């Protein structure tokens, strides 16, 4: 799988599909950047695994196609295998160049990831490889860390283990609670995601078939690219 950098370097926008589960604030940041002319991207569709996700409202307001894969005919929550089958069919129909997991809260199988029509990136609320999984803010506080932030990484079969492309970093305050950190890190996410997608759309970052960064010369900085931000 690879991001089509030849396409990205022309005037044709990068085709992006977004998977969501919740409020969709990061989806909204992408929409706003596109509408402002700051991001050469077309969001070709949004998939939500929850029918009550506010992200659906955001996508509808921007006239973006939405597939809600939440429940089956008998009203029960859709199992992961059924979700993946329908999601795979939808992604194949949309044919994106890149798939963004933005607050998507289901673990995807290796077969789904490996058969994807495009590479996937995920936004994770920690400085990977530290603090994979859930409850990152509380765990960071309990460990007495001095820095925290968020990462965008390539999605692989191993949870939160793909190549880290970019990170945004902040300093912890001794008074920070987990709720405080969640809000502070979300501000970083809203800067990191459009910046990373822009780098991919412009071909500054590229994803090769191994899901890692392809650097064309020795002058390219080592990954992850880092933003040190005061939120």
- The label of the residue with tokens 């596109």 reads 34
Dihedral angle computed from the Cα positions of residues 73, 75, 80 and 82, in that order, rounded to the nearest 10 degrees: 0
DSSP result, 37-52: T-S-EEEEEEEES-TT
> Which position among 71, 124, 137, 153 bears the catalytic label?
124
Contact assessment for residue 53 and residue 23, using Cβ atoms and an 8 Å cutoff = yes
Name the nearest CA neighbour of 124 among 99, 155, 147. 155
Name every residue whose Cβ is closer than 8 Å to that of residue 154 and which is 6 or more positions away in sequence.
119, 120, 121, 122, 162, 163, 165, 207, 211, 212
The whole-angstrom separation of Cα 162 and Cα 103 is 17
**Is residue 153 annotated as a catalytic residue, yes or no?**
no
Please state, as a whole number, how many other Cβ atoms lie within 10 Å of the Cβ of residue 102: 23
DSSP β-ladder status, 147-154 and 164-171: antiparallel
Catalytic residues: 124
């Amino acid at each position: 799988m690879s991001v089509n950098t030849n396409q990205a370097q022309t005037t044709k926008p990068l085709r992006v599909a977004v998977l969501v589960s919740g409020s969709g604030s990061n989806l909204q940041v992408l929409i706003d950047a596109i509408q402002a002319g700051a991001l050469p991207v077309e969001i070709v569709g949004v998939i939500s695994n929850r029918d009550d996700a506010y992200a659906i409202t955001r996508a509808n307001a921007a006239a973006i196609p939405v597939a809600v894969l939440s429940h089956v005919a008998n009203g029960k929550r859709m199992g992961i295998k059924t979700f993946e089958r329908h999601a795979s069919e939808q992604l194949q129909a949309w044919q994106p160049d890149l798939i963004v997991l933005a607050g998507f809260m289901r673990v995807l199988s290796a077969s789904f990831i490996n058969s994807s029509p495009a590479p996937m990136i995920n936004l994770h609320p920690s400085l990977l490889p530290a603090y994979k999984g859930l409850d990152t803010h509380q765990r960071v506080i309990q460990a007495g860390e001095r820095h925290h932030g968020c990462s965008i990484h390539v999605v692989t079969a191993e949870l939160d283990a793909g190549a880290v492309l970019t990170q945004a970093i902040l300093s912890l305050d001794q008074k920070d609670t987990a709720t405080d950190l969640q809000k502070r890190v979300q501000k970083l996410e809203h800067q990191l995601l459009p910046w990373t997608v822009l780098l991919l759309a412009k071909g500054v970052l590229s994803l090769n078939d191994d899901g890692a960064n392809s650097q064309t010369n020795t002058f390219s900085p080592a990954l992850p690219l880092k933003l040190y931000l005061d939120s």
